[in-house]
Amino acid sequence: MRIDNTSSLVGKDLITGKHYGHKLGGMAGVANVGTNITWVGYDLAQSNLYAYGRLAWDPTRDPEDILHEWTRLTFGLDPMVLNTITEMAMPSWRSFENYSGNLGIQTLTDITGMYCV
């Protein structure tokens, strides 16, 4: 992750408050789960809820490792499935950020007032 055009680790730097020189840090999340078999409506969206839980437990975990773990638990051990989901999911943050920002929901992706890359 990059903040202010410098490399930063979400767990060690941003969540702990270190990046901005704060003594305390934290994270919060909202989950909209329901009665669907995947809880959130479709399989790939469940990966976000899974990753949030894993990062809440250990914010130093590598997001791609978490995605691989979730993919194996959800779809099995087929390397082609793992590679396909990784190729779709890892760059998806930028798509979400561009889509939601254009609709005026930028506070969901830019709550510090800075554009994170």
pLDDT tens-digit readout, 32-66: 788 888 788 888 888 988 998 898 888 788 889 99
Confidence band, pLDDT 50/70/90 cuts, at residue 9: low
Rg, C-alpha atoms of the chain: 15
* pLDDT exceeds cutoff 80 at 103: no
Q: How confident is the model at residue 79 (pLDDT cuts 50, 70, 90)?
A: very high
Model pLDDT, residue 27: 77
Residue 3 to residues 8, 14, 19, 114, Cα–Cα distance (Å): 6, 9, 9, 8
pLDDT at 1: 57
